[in-house]
Amino acid sequence: MKILSCVSPGEFSFIEGGLPQISGGRAIVKIKKIGICGTDLHAFEGTQPFFSYPRILGHELAGEVMEIEENKEISKGDWVTVIPYFSCNVCVACRNGKPNCCQKISVFGVHEDGGMQEFVSLPIASLVKRAGLSLEQLALAEPFAIGAHGVRRAAVKSGQFVLVIGAGPIGLGVMEFARIAGATVLAMDINEKRLEFCREVWNIPHVVKAGNSAYGLIEEITNGDFCDAVIDATGSLTAINQGFQYIAHGGSYVLVGLQKGEIAFSHPEFHKREATLMSSRNATREDFDQVLDTMASGQLPLEKYITHRVQFDQVKEDFQSWLNPETGVIKALVEM
């Protein structure tokens, strides 16, 4: 069995391994499609905070169930996606219905070895199937679930202005679910190509290049109200710190992106707005169900979302290029 492991920042290695064993409420899944996430890219470049090496990456997954212990919902031969956040089910977060931020969470492909391999052993409880969806759709459920969760955290409502900072794959998912919620979406990025993609391909009505003129442009677009919700999907310390100035009075700021340092903002400016600051971590089964329902209804334009496709054996050669947004990469998909 061929496995691709990130042995240290900036270095991949193919290794051979034996087939996993099934035990304890688990299934053996043959991986068919793997989406490449910003988390994978940050891990490769050494900037992912919850990470140690060596590590097998891969948490945006679709595959076929090859073996499974007795289960009423999922059977051998089913196509499934994976909820890659393994929780303890006993901590305060889990008891309160928030397993996505479990105190002892282990994320597949981050805290433990993930899915960049031909076969994986997974808890049956982490598998989700949906009849009628393709393997590509199933592989992309996780990044869209991240976006759906961020929008749900922000409690976005119809008629609101929502600024999404960062026009990468997660940011695009946030934009789409904010639009589905009825908001007017503004996209911000420093990269002209990504802003052009938002405008010409993703049909975002307002695009804003980050910089000195952004404040005035957002003020104009929102008629001086600024944004009911600002959602960061960059993980950039500079972008996160600058985002506070765009929050409307009574608005909220949701951090989907993650970085290693400390954020800083003006307390008086934040206080006078009675603003709300919150993080958005991972996603829940509820978010996955919403995404899969939305996919089944044909609302998510996945044909526009996937920009790069590679075979598994090409990943080692092509991966580093995906760190450069100038290549035009939005979502790379690995095909086994």
SS3 of the chain: the string is CEEEEEEECCEEEEEECCCCCCCCCEEEEEEEEEECCHHHHHHHHCCCCCCCCCECCCCEEEEEEEEECCCCCCCCCCEEEECCEECCCCCHHHHCCCHHHCCCCEEECCCECCCCECEEEEEHHHEECCCCCCHHHHHCHHHHHHHHHHHHHHCCCCCCEEEEECCCHHHHHHHHHHHHCCCEEEEEECCHHHHHHHHHCCCCCEEEECCCCHHHHHHHHCCCCCEEEEEECCCCHHHHHHHHHHEEEEEEEEECCCCCCCCCCCHHHHHHCCCEEEECCCCCHHHHHHHHHHHHCCCCCHHHHEEEEEEHHHHHHHHHHHHCHHHCCCEEEEEC
Q: What local confidence, expressed as pLDDT, does residue 50 receive?
A: 81
Whether domain 2-139+301-335 has CATH 3.90.180.10: yes
Q: What local confidence, expressed as pLDDT, does residue 277 receive?
A: 98
Q: What local confidence, expressed as pLDDT, does residue 19 receive?
A: 84
Q: What local confidence, expressed as pLDDT, does residue 327 receive?
A: 86
The answer to whether domain 2-139+301-335 and domain 146-279 are alike in fold is no
Taking 50 as the pLDDT cut, the residues of the chain under it are none
Orientation of helix 169-180 relative to helix 141-154, angle to 10° = 50
**Domain extents for the chain?**
2-139+301-335, 146-279
Q: What local confidence, expressed as pLDDT, does residue 148 receive?
A: 98
CB 9 within 8 A of CB 15: no
Q: What local confidence, expressed as pLDDT, does residue 20 receive?
A: 87
CB 94 within 8 A of CB 86: no
Per CATH, the number for 146-279 is 3.40.50.720
Alpha-carbon dihedral sign for residues 100, 106, 107, 111: positive
